[in-house]
Structure 1
């Protein structure tokens, strides 16, 4: 059975570092035997269909191919359409009422529990808020991610130890769910 996935590459094409042209990423995915390959924006979002593997093995395969082709390591998460739809539908914030720059989703490589973020005092960051979901963290940042003190606190290395984490704004969350749909 063929499944459509989104690949989320962490930290590419940011500030001139780890440059991955999207045309080359599409070619790389096609060479790996995937079909329906496309990319979204320049920030490490790709979609593809595959009839083999699972999310973890597909992510490892793509990360290995990126390292061999470009000469640097990149963390990769792969998620299928059903998961992306569930993340969108489970958003605890009123997404339709917010600007896309105010709402972000951080995807994790594994489940995380609330205890991991116990040292972060939510009251100290109001009106910013976060909620955990299934391998995701939803972040409401009224002034945007770039000005978010809460995002900075949540991204501390000790809080993210042992997991890959990559963040997308709400427009990208919605678009990736749409691109992987039927």
Structure 2
């Protein structure tokens, strides 16, 4: 019996740094791979699709190769099921954090777990980024804006070599809601 899974693909390097991809084109690239019910949410590289392909690592590699070949640059792809995203939001990783105009709550999707030697909670040298916790696929980050800007680019120190793409908590909630719609 084949099981169909709905994934949310969190893409890095989409519509930043002068690399513009229209969502129609991005959806078409996913559909070219034979993925079903392809949809997208906002312009920052969030794509939903269904597949019965059982090997997530192979699927990720296949999508990344197709995007790089088609767009001309690497696009890290972090696949999560709808249930996985729902579970991380249900865990309320930011419970007790006071949100102010200078505080942003961020979920950093990870291609590999954070290094074991990174003690959590972890605060950046500049004090603008605080990693409250993590699981193998995501880290929960509080960003303290400096002059209204997110300054630190390096959330986990130089020892982390994996791919990361971040979404604000409220955006992640909206992505999940959109992915649940049929």
Structures share fold, TM-score greater than 0.5: yes
Alpha-carbon displacement from aligned partner over 1:46-100 (angstroms, at most 9, x marks no partner) = 1111111333222111111111211221111111111111111223213897479
Deviation, 1:155, is 5.1
Q: Contact conserved, 1:80 with 1:180, CA < 8 A, in 2?
A: no
Equivalent-residue separation in structure 1 for 2:69 and 2:125 (angstroms): 45
Alpha-carbon displacement from aligned partner over 1:126-151 (angstroms, at most 9, x marks no partner) = 7x53222222111122438x7345x4
Deviation, 1:153, is 4.4
How well do the aligned residues superpose, as a CA RMSD in angstroms?
Answer: 2.9
Q: Structure 1 segments of 4 or more deviating over 4 A?
A: 120-124
Equivalent-residue separation in structure 2 for 1:21 and 1:90 (angstroms): 33
SS in structure 1 of the partner of residue 54 of structure 2: coil
1:138 aligns with 2:133: no
Using structure 2 for the length normalisation, give the TM-score.
Answer: 0.81
Q: Contact conserved, 1:91 with 1:138, CA < 8 A, in 2?
A: no
* Higher share in helix: 1
Gaps (5+ residues) in structure 2? Answer: none
SS in structure 2 of the partner of residue 102 of structure 1: strand
Aligned length: 175
For residue 49 of structure 1, what is the aligned residue in structure 2?
50
Q: Contact conserved, 1:8 with 1:166, CA < 8 A, in 2?
A: yes
For residue 41 of structure 2, what is the aligned residue in structure 1?
40
Using structure 1 for the length normalisation, give the TM-score.
Answer: 0.81
